[in-house]
Chain A
Amino acid sequence: MDILLQQLINGVTVGSVYALVALGYTMVYGIIGLINFAHGDVVMVGAMVATSIVLALVGADPTGVSAWVAVGSALLLAMPVCMALGWTAERFAYRPLRRAPRLAALITAIGISIIIQNVAMMVWGRNYLSFPHIIEARVFSIGDARISILQIIIIVAAAAIMSGLTLLVHRTRLGTAMRATAQNREVAGLMGVNINTVISAAFVIGSLLAAVAGVMVAAYYGVAQYTMGFILGLKAFTAAVLGGIGNLAGAMLGGLLLGIIESLGAGYIGDLTNGFFGSNYQDVFSFIVLILVLVFRPSGLLGERVGDRA
């Protein structure tokens, strides 16, 4: 029982991060039908910027700056950097291709991902940056299961941000414009929606979430390196597909589910199969779930069945 609880805590923490990143994929896909493969690398840039800031602040004077000030300023700097990056990628790489075949935009996204990684390699080098242990001190015990203050912060912050995003999309003018553009770009334009602004906004908001996720990943694992965005992006993309790509609630659900499935899969697969399968099959486990979902619900758990507009 304690093991189950511990695995759930582990899974929900990772799942919250997946969900934040998955939202970035799903927002962009929902509006312009592009799978932005560079999104994982935006998370990486967020993590690298935040780690550099914290290292600079804490490294200079370990006692002078409080942990909250350091992480707060890291977050405040990582967010505009990532937002600028997302905006630039959209404005100069994807917008000229908006009317081009989808494949062209997809390949451009992969190209942008490679460019971001290589620039990051030049800026920060190949070595792993280490995020100092500044907010991990307290651990709470529930029976044998343990949850750290950092895990609580990640889960709570992710939940708050996701509620904020839901409010933004369903209660504001910008949100209405975004939903209208997602339904039909041309008609929304005719109704007076500035679709360029809306699409830019989707990228900028997605990158903002990516920055927050980047800070969370860096602080939680204590590691940041220029290649970290790839796997994270792949997992988040899987989560978005699992929940139904293009659907915001789906991305959140998919992220949490993927985190929990991974954690329970790795934890129980050995016992369930009497040692026949070990934790070496943990990724297989999450992809089997993905395949099953896609077989029975091709548009994902919460995705709507829509005709292919393209």
Chain B
Amino acid sequence: MQLGKGFKMLAATAATLAVFASAPAAAEQVVKLGFAAPLTGPQSHYGEDMRNGLTLALEEANAQKIQLNGKTARFELISKDDQADPRTAVQVAQQIVDEGVQGILGHFNSGTTIPASSVYNGEGLPQIAMATSPEYTAQGFDTTFRMMTSDTQQGAAAGEFIVKDLGAKTVALIDDRTAYGQGLADQVAKAVEVHGGKIVAREYTTDKANDFTAILTNIRSKNPDVIFFGGLDAQSGPMRRQMVRLGIKAPLMSGEMTRSDTFLKLAGEDSEGTYASLAGVPLQQMAAGTKFEEAYKKRFNKSPGVYAPYAYDGAWNMITAMKEAGSSKPADYLPKLRSLQRSGATSESIAYDEKGDLKEISVTIYQVKGGKWEMIKTMVSNAN
């Protein structure tokens, strides 16, 4: 009768668990927020960075005992791994919806956010994503919002900087064929041509490659003044080293994914002189930014990455909208998110336009000097 005994124990355990599960404080209400990003695979360091930023915001919000629907809200992050893969993204989007979430703080990549956004839109769930691809907010959905600038905004600023400030006449472009890399490179190309520069080479790689010598050798023969790369730091780091090894004198410029400590580590001394653009103004220039940096270091025992502050602000945007509406129901707080006006860690004026893009569009250009990213110039992007 071993089986019977085991079964009884199992039933008892299940009963105990059920008691624990149904015993939260009476006046507390759990508000589930969905999150998905690459948590495994080559881009998992970005996903972790983003999740930490969100976690910090939700923990702060829980400590404030915000009243929603007449009860104290306890925010909970439903975290899923989309592996930076568009197909997986749609599957986890459905799982997140099935968990009964009230809003979405993700995904990370443009390539995953765009297909997943139609799942969330079908459920009327507001979504604030890290995606920078212009298509994300151009689908005609009323639920799509951004944590960062769009590629149109960043690309316009980067392209203008390349031609006007660096005085480049010829530019070579490389992208990693992801929605992000390709989109950014396209926008930079457009801006370079608008300002009178010429694109002399357009080469491609993947977001998993680490050998760029073949395409760089090709680019070397075209002798461009600047090389722009749309893609990840895991590629731009080795790429910069290979540029130096091949004797290419032109500087490398890239988007915000490259403005990371990982790039500095991977490119080592060769990183010197590399440019990168990043949305907003430096954390150190903002009171809330400095506070965020300290809190992050205390909580996670390391410095925040590129994306953590934007994730933190994104989470607070959603929580603030809920607070103003006094409700966590998507239909109630969506109008408040639309009309949001607040000051965060990355910008003093966070507000959304009718598409869900951020209205304030300052872009800061950084350069590696003495092994550190130093601010060169903050510019206001004219494109939108």
Contacts and interface: CB of A to CB of B under 8 A. Distances in A.
B217 A128 contact: no
B218 A3 contact: yes
A262 B212 CA distance: 11
Contacts of B268: 130, 132-133, 222
A91 interface: no
Interface string A269-297: 01000000011101100000000000000
Contact of A282 (B214, B234, B245): B214
Contacts of A127: 45, 262
B45 A126 contact: yes
Contacts of A128: 45, 233-234, 237, 262, 265-266
12 contacts: A6-B220, A128-B234, A222-B237, A223-B234, A223-B266, A231-B209, A263-B214, A279-B204, A279-B218, A280-B204, A282-B214, A283-B206
Interface string A66-77: 000000000000
A67 to B, nearest CB: 13
Interface of A: 3, 6-7, 10-11, 14, 121, 126-128, 130, 132-133, 136, 139, 141, 146, 148, 221-223, 225, 227-228, 231, 262-267, 270, 278-280, 282-283
Given A121-B40, A221-B210, A227-B42, A266 B218 contact: yes
Interface of B: 39-42, 44-45, 47-48, 177, 202-206, 208-211, 213-215, 217-218, 220-221, 233-234, 237-238, 241, 245-247, 262, 265-270
Nearest to A282: B214
Given A146-B245, A223-B210, A280 B177 contact: yes
B214 A267 contact: yes
Contacts of B241: 133, 136, 221-222
A146 B247 CA distance: 8
B26 to A, nearest CB: 40
A221 B47 CA distance: 23
A221 B211 contact: yes
Nearest to B214: A266
Contacts of A133: 241, 268-270
A280 B214 CA distance: 12
Contacts of B47: 126
A10 B218 CA distance: 12
Given A223-B234, A279-B215, 18 more contacts: A7-B217, A14-B211, A126-B39, A126-B44, A128-B233, A128-B234, A128-B237, A128-B262, A130-B265, A146-B247, A221-B210, A222-B266, A222-B268, A231-B208, A263-B213, A278-B204, A279-B203, A282-B215
A132 B40 CA distance: 25
A57 B269 CA distance: 18
B245 A148 contact: yes
B217 A6 contact: yes
Q: Which of B42, B202, B269 has most A Cβ within 10 Å?
A: B42
A178 B313 CA distance: 62
